[in-house]
Structure 1
Amino acid sequence: MMLYKQKKNQGPKGNRLLISVTVLGSAGPIRFVVNEEELVAAVIDTALKSYAREGRLPVLGSNLNDFLLYCPSAGSDALSPWETIGSQGARNFMLCKKPGTEKMETDGKSAESITTRKSPGNWKAWFNKSLSLKISSH
């Protein structure tokens, strides 16, 4: 009886790919392995979970419907969430927040949370002022 030996980069569902997903505004890409038959929506979900697990900034959230995945070599159109990631023949992707989602988030926040966002600027001004007082006293 002859045993069938699978290639190292082939799983039961097909080839596995190491992909890089660059998040707009983040320091560097996220790299992880996916099956080429995996849907774009699942790749977005995995990228968001990896991004959060690594503690990267800016904080994105976890709703995959708020994001679009682009393939820079395929043009300017976002990938459909229902197509497979291997159909592009690429391994580098760009993850961006949908244009309308940021406006909806700020409209839904209370005035208290918006003023909290401004407080780090006041803290920086206080810190700089306190440093200048200490330096001038020497």
Structure 2
Amino acid sequence: MLKRSVSDKLMVLKKHKKNTTDTQSVKNVKKNRFLITINVNGSAGPVRFMVNEDDVVAGVIDTILKAYARVGRLPVLGSDVNNFLLYQANAVFEALDPWARIGSNGARNFVLHKKSLPQITKGMSEMIPQKRGGSSKNWINRSLSLMILFH
């Protein structure tokens, strides 16, 4: 029977310990990640990055806006997540729910649209009181407040 030295026993223990902790850490870190492609209206090309399957749509939009701004792409989009809607590339009719999980629909290609502000119609413009001699800044503030009121 062969006797092992103390150093051999320690090496075997370390190797065994290392193997068990590696498998445990892989189990803890392993999540479903996938690559998504997002086309931004008016941009020269798509933005691609990795997301977790459990990430919410609002968080993905926030990540898109930060990555887009960091690179300095045009047009400048801003940073407010509430001003944007994310659509599946093959179904542009209905925007994704901001609190839905990005991996729930199985799509990997998306389109980012900026929400449009409500347009002033002729009927609305007639409702705006017309003052003579007022500044254009006051007129714009009144117009915006009426747009918000009717929206």
Could you give the per-residue CA deviations for residues 23-48 of structure 1, whole angstroms, max 9, x where no partner exists?
01100000110101000000000000
Query: What residue is the counterpart of 1:15 in the other structure?
Result: 32
Could you give the per-residue CA deviations for residues 2-26 of structure 1, whole angstroms, max 9, x where no partner exists?
844748xx944x3001111110110
1:55-66 matches, within 5 Å, as 55-66=72-83
Query: Comparing 71-80 with 42-51, which one deviates more in the overlay?
Result: 71-80
**1:19, 1:91 within 8 Å by CA — same for their partners in 2?**
yes
TM-score, structure 2 length as denominator?
0.59
Could you give the per-residue CA deviations for residues 40-99 of structure 1, whole angstroms, max 9, x where no partner exists?
000000000000011000101000000000002345100000000001101110000001
The correspondence for 1:49, drawn from 66, 74, 93, is: 66
How far the C-alpha of 1:100 sits from its partner, in A, is: 1.4
Decide which structure has the larger Cα Rg and report it.
2
Residue ranges of structure 2 left out of the alignment (5+ in a row):
1-15, 121-136, 138-151
Distance in 1 (alpha carbons) for counterparts of 2:72 and 2:85: 21
1:84 aligns with 2:101: yes
1:94 aligns with 2:115: no
The correspondence for 1:73, drawn from 86, 90, 114, is: 90
SS at match of 1:99: coil
Backbone CA RMSD of aligned residues:
2.6
Query: What residue is the counterpart of 2:52 in the other structure?
Result: 35
Aligned residues: 102
TM-score, structure 1 length as denominator?
0.65
Q: Percent identity?
A: 55
SS at match of 2:85: strand
